Amino acid sequence: MRLSQLVCLAIGAATANAAYSGDIVQYWVEQASLLQNGTIIGGLQSPPWAWANAAVTGAILEAAVKSKKGSLAYQQLAVSHAAHNILNWAFHATRNYNAVDAALRSILPSIGLAANTTEGKEATAIGRKAAAKVAEARADDGLNDFVDFVYGPKNPTVYQQSPGANPYPDTPQARFVKPFAGLGNITRFRAPPPPKLTDKAYEDSVVEVKAIGSLNSTTRSAYDTDTAYIWRESSISVWNRIAHSVVGSSLATKVADSAKFYAQLNYALANAAIAAWDTKFFYVSWRPVTAIQRTDIWLPSHLNVSDPSWTPLLRPTPSHPDYVSTHSTFGGAASAVIRAWNGGDKVQATFSSNVTLDNRGVLTRTYTSLEEAAKENARSRVFGGIHFTFAGAAGIALGDAVALATLKEFDDHWDEF
């Protein structure tokens, strides 16, 4: 027998009533990101990704509430089976069972509550039931519906397929998905209209993004190029990591509190995605690349911004309309929830991202203010050449409003999955 096995046995015997020493909810939120990143479909689009995280954290919260009277290990086991089952459900078509099982298998020894004990059986049943409850509530929530999309005329400001994008925009049905926590009709949050073509703000935004968002921009600093890169990956994954950085291990022994916080965060993100899609598919606004590559003069001032070979730094431009920026909406929503938990905007938050685009590698940034992080996140899309600046500001405001409403409803409606 190897030494490592002996050590494991010794620890196992000595700590039969112990539990996983980390925050079990953070463990599963992190597993959800890893699984999203690593699924054979290469990660979901933004609204389904946010939706899946909300389902996972909803099931976790249900299991945490139902197992609250048990030992820490009991709660952790209940939560783990809830997360495992709802992840399998969310990824049903992806043949991801082995990876989801591996995530559960690797945490079970740390939890240390045997599956064949009375307690173990009870906790497992609570977790499974929680997942089933969420799956049932979400069975017909609109996410699987076919909603057709027809491109508008190729006039200035009208959204068109951008180079390298999918033939049809991503998930047009996402605007009709049932919100989490009984938020009601999402259209009441719809962002005000973007600036008109005749507004100076419109022209300024076009000129700005053409200069600082171009692949080979001569006016964007190296730091700002990295800003575009570091924020590029899924906002759901990034903002859950930022939340982890702020919360640390402070909720490790308070499973229900941690579950509540992460459900608030991920419900707000999912609701923000639905609201962003409502706004996007209401205004159906074109992306910078479409505006700049257009060959005629279309600005009312007659300024010629045409450059048919203009290429944004972040490629391809995502396959959905410009206004509002989803990234910014997610940042507005997440920062509002973290701010509420934190009791203020001042934080010490660090996150890293392994940037695969242009082989940039691992970048790390630290923030002392959530507002600063949300603003930089929004700005990153202009540096990336994929959004007009007004799409960012409106996105933050939209996300903030949706998150505050989600928090307001949460205590009474958290189990309206």
> Rule CB under 6 A: which residues touch ligand NAG?
33-34, 37, 114, 116, 185, 187, 215-216, 233, 237, 297, 304, 306-307, 309, 311, 353-354, 356, 362
Q: How far is the CB of 119 from ligand NAG (least distance, A)?
A: 12
333: Cβ–Cβ under 8 A, 6 or more apart, which residues?
Answer: 268, 269, 271, 272, 399, 400, 402, 403, 406
Q: For ligand NAG, which is the closer residue by CB, 237 or 406?
A: 237
* Token pair for 368: 């002392």
Q: How far is the CB of 267 from ligand NAG (least distance, A)?
A: 18
| Rounded to 5°, angle at Cα 157 from 298 and 381 | 110
Q: How far is the CB of 34 from ligand NAG (least distance, A)?
A: 5
Q: How far is the CB of 186 from ligand NAG (least distance, A)?
A: 8
Q: How far is the CB of 87 from ligand NAG (least distance, A)?
A: 14
DSSP 68: T
**To which H or E segment does residue 302 belong?**
none
Q: How far is the CB of 214 from ligand NAG (least distance, A)?
A: 7
Q: For ligand NAG, which is the closer residue by CB, 149 or 298?
A: 298
Burial degree of 232 (CB within 10 A; 0-12, 13-18, 19+): buried
Q: Terminus-to-terminus CA distance in the chain, angstroms?
A: 48
Identity of the amino acid at 3: L
Q: For ligand NAG, which is the closer residue by CB, 278 or 400?
A: 278
Q: How far is the CB of 178 from ligand NAG (least distance, A)?
A: 8
Q: How far is the CB of 130 from ligand NAG (least distance, A)?
A: 24
Do residues 182 and 416 make contact, with C-beta atoms less than 8 angstroms apart?
Answer: yes
Block residue for tokens 């396959």: 319
DSSP 116: T
Q: For ligand NAG, which is the closer residue by CB, 33 or 46?
A: 33
Q: How far is the CB of 345 from ligand NAG (least distance, A)?
A: 25
Q: For ligand NAG, which is the closer residue by CB, 189 or 390?
A: 189
Q: For ligand NAG, which is the closer residue by CB, 330 or 390?
A: 330
Do residues 92 and 135 make contact, with C-beta atoms less than 8 angstroms apart?
Answer: no
Q: Which long-range contacts (CB under 8 A, 24 or more apart) does 350-359 make?
A: 350/245, 351/238, 351/241, 351/242, 351/245, 353/229, 353/230, 353/231, 353/232, 353/233, 353/238, 355/229, 355/230, 355/232, 355/233, 357/229, 357/232, 357/314, 357/315, 358/229
Q: For ligand NAG, which is the closer residue by CB, 34 or 102?
A: 34
Q: How far is the CB of 274 from ligand NAG (least distance, A)?
A: 11
Q: How far is the CB of 297 from ligand NAG (least distance, A)?
A: 5
Do residues 49 and 43 make contact, with C-beta atoms less than 8 angstroms apart?
Answer: yes
- Whose CA is closest to 24, among 251, 245, 237? 251
Do residues 12 and 216 make contact, with C-beta atoms less than 8 angstroms apart?
Answer: no
- Whose CA is closest to 27, among 113, 108, 98? 108
| Dihedral over alpha carbons 70, 74, 80, 83 (to 10 degrees) | -20
Three-state DSSP string of 138-153: CCCCCCCCCCCCCCCC
Q: For ligand NAG, which is the closer residue by CB, 120 or 395?
A: 120
Q: For ligand NAG, which is the closer residue by CB, 30 or 415?
A: 30
HSE of 118 in the Cβ direction (CA atoms, 13 Å)? 1
Q: For ligand NAG, which is the closer residue by CB, 229 or 388?
A: 229
Q: For ligand NAG, which is the closer residue by CB, 346 or 357?
A: 357
